[in-house]
Copies of this chain bind each other. A is one copy, B any other.
Amino acid sequence: MYTVKEVAQKINLTEHTIRFYTDKGLVPNIQRDKYNTRLFDEASLNWLIRVKYLKDCGMSIKDIKHFVDLYLEGDSSILTRYEIILKYKEIAQEQLEEAARRVKFMEKKVKHYLEIINQDISDDTTPR
């Protein structure tokens, strides 16, 4: 069983964000101890990780909540959930391509700047 703080370190989210997510119902069956402290078991932790992945694919809080609700409905919602996951897998793939383009662009820029800087140094007749 982990506290909010421990989970925050584990999966690199802020404590605020984790409380925000649990309050929004994105982690089903989250437990509390007698002092009302949130306690995460392995299942809750895994849910939170799933939530993070979906969010990073661009799914809104509302839609994640909807997905969680589908899960809680049980097996009858499996096909719907599959279609959602499939859609977000494709989004993830597009994001991967975009990220690759960004890296390329930034590398080009770095190279560009290096050329300018090196040229300036060799042109520079006055020592530092």
Chain A residues in the interface with B (C-beta under 8 A): 53, 56-57, 75, 78-79, 81-82, 85-86, 88-89, 92-93, 95-96, 98-100, 102-103, 105-107, 109-110, 113-114, 116-117, 120
Which 4 residue pairs of A and B lie closest in terms of their CB atoms, listed nearest first? A89-B106, A82-B113, A96-B99, A99-B99
- In the complex the two chains form, what is the Cα distance from A53 to B107 in whole Å? 12
A53 nearest in chain B by CB position: B105
- Distance of A120 Cα from B57 Cα, bound (Å): 28
Alpha-carbon gap, A114 to B85, bound state (A) = 11
- How many monomers of this protein are in the complex? 2
Complex Cα distance A120/B105, Å?
47
**Out of B85, B88, B89, B110, which one reaches A89, CB within 8 Å?**
B110
Q: Do the beta carbons of B103 and A93 come within 8 Å of each other? A: yes
Contact flag A92-B106 (CB < 8 Å), given A56-B98, A78-B120, A99-B99: yes
